[in-house]
Amino acid sequence: MSERPLSSRQYDSGSWMPFTVEVDGHPVECNFNPDPERGTDATLCVIPTQALKVVEDPARMKVKPNVMSEWLDRLAAASASILLVHGRWFNDLSELAERVGSGLDWFEGMERRIAGAISESLRRGSVKPGKIVVMGSSRHGFAILHAAAKNPDVSAAVAHQPSCRGLEWSNLREWTMIRLLSATHSTTVSPILPLGR
């Protein structure tokens, strides 16, 4: 897309319907943007993101676009409904690496958050079964592959550059680097590390 469609529905705050669902005793912030013409016949594209402010107010991307802006532009243009889901556990990569290193599988937690948001959308009648696609990039791309494999309500998945060099995250070089740097430095470690690729 050469020009951003700034008059499109994803940039209208009134087109979004926020809701919260509880999963594992934690609130999961979600925001739903239905296609006004196709309604429940529209494909629902579920997108997890660590950007809580984007989930709370997606229309703010009109002024401050991020990596997700083009996805939303294209989905709205294709008459898809959109569901943003806050990823929570993926906010702090150092914390995530520490938990994964201790044997906790936070992808299972992310899968449950995605499943909870999808179940709530089905319960509300926002989408028909067989019309659900999960989408994500990087660590969310890896998470949605797991969610698609384990959730029978998911019909398709779009994983853009998923981080999945190993069957589990603790095998990834990024996590080893973060753990090593965290052990040697008392400062916060940046999630962007030169890995010599």
Q: SS3 letters for 71-117?
A: HHHHHHHCCCEEEEEECCCCCCHHHHHHHHHCCCCHHHHHHHHHHHH
Joined tokens for residue 175 = 């996590």
| Choice among 45-49, 164-168, 185-189 with the minimum mean pLDDT | 185-189
Percent of the chain with pLDDT over 70: 72
Q: pLDDT value at position 89?
A: 61
Band (pLDDT 50/70/90 cuts) for residue 14 is very high
Tell me: the pLDDT tens digits for 102-112?
Answer: 776 667 788 89
Matching residue, tokens 């028909």: 128
Q: pLDDT value at position 182?
A: 47
Q: Which residue has the higher pLDDT, 170 or 156?
A: 156
Band (pLDDT 50/70/90 cuts) for residue 154 is very high
Other C-beta atoms closer than 10 Å to the C-beta of 184 total 8
Q: Are 46 and 117 spatial neighbours (Cβ–Cβ below 8 Å)?
A: yes
Domains of the chain with bracketed CATH: 9-168 (3.40.50.1820)
3-state secondary structure of 54: helix
Alpha carbon 61 to its chain's center:
16
Judged on CB neighbours under 10 Å (0-12, 13-18, 19+), 92 is middle
Mean pLDDT of the chain: 79
Joined tokens for residue 92 = 């702090």
What is the pLDDT averaged over residues 50-79?
A: 88
Other C-beta atoms closer than 10 Å to the C-beta of 59 total 17
